[in-house]
Amino acid sequence: MALIELFDLQKTYNEAKIPVYAVKGVNLKIEKGEFTAIVGPSGSGKTTLLNMIGGLDQPTEGKIVVDGTDISTYKPDELINFRLHHIGFVFQAYNLIPVLTAKENVEFIMLLQNLSKSEREERAKELLEAVGLGERMNSRPSELSGGQQQRVAVARSLASHPSFVLADEPTANLDSVTAEALLDLMEDLNSKFEMTFVFSTHDSKVIKRAHRVVTLEDGKIKSDEIRKVIVKNEG
């Protein structure tokens, strides 16, 4: 069984008046350990599809099964709980809590999971060391560069032991060198821990490294390219 399964997924906005069909019947399976990029022009339904996979939006029709659980009928509060335990998020604008330190930002997710203080501290330290920020644990986001903030965001996304990480344009705010370094890190996490990454992106650097590229157009899958060869880390 695949990690993420989408069955005839449809999303229509403004159904009663002038309906807008954002996603029109998408069928997709993403296996554990994949490094997948969902691409497509603006208005192709990329964001809507990603929101539904991430449990931030509900389909009008069809089914989303994540880790064997059908989340398409979940109520908003059930979805919040599901997101907390199954999905890690990395956003374009990092979106760290500015008043908390890097370590506290990572710990915060585990606090929501009611983990003990010692467990939280240990894992936050471990994750920040894994993303190369062992020395900056007590820095606030404003004291970190964009690349460093996004690394903290990656560490935060992994804090809850998620089934997969959803990364929405993670490199869009970074310069190319920093973006490459971040992708190195993600690739590393993918190969070491078999962590599944699903990207929504326009960035050629991400597309170049993806194991699989799903292209959307007008709410439908236009192409689904599975690459057998992974582009190697050159840095």
Residue number with CB closer to other proteins (53 or 185) = 53
Q: Does 54 bind other proteins (CB under 8 A)?
A: yes
Question: Minimum distance between the CB of residue 101 and other proteins, rounded to whole angstroms?
Answer: 10
Residue number with CB closer to other proteins (66 or 181) = 66
The site that binds other proteins (CB under 8 A) totals a number of residues, namely 29
Q: Does 111 bind other proteins (CB under 8 A)?
A: yes
Residue number with CB closer to other proteins (2 or 100) = 100
Interface residue with other proteins among 56, 65, 115, 172 (CB under 8 A) is 56
Q: Does 112 bind other proteins (CB under 8 A)?
A: yes
Give the closest residue to 198 by CA, choosing from 1, 4, 2: 4
Burial class (CB in 10 A: 0-12, 13-18, 19+), 152: buried
Q: How far is CA 230 from CA 36, 188, 190, 198, in A?
A: 11, 12, 12, 15
Residue number with CB closer to other proteins (57 or 217) = 57
Q: Does 126 bind other proteins (CB under 8 A)?
A: no
Who's near 45: CB < 8 A, 6+ residues apart?
11, 22, 23, 24, 26, 216, 218, 219, 220
Q: Does 95 bind other proteins (CB under 8 A)?
A: yes
Are 167 and 197 in contact, with CB atoms under 8 Å apart?
yes
Tell me which stretch binds other proteins (CB under 8 A): 33-41, 72-80, 129-137, 216-224. 72-80
Judged by phi (left if over 0) then psi (alpha if -120 to 50, else beta), residue 161 lies in left
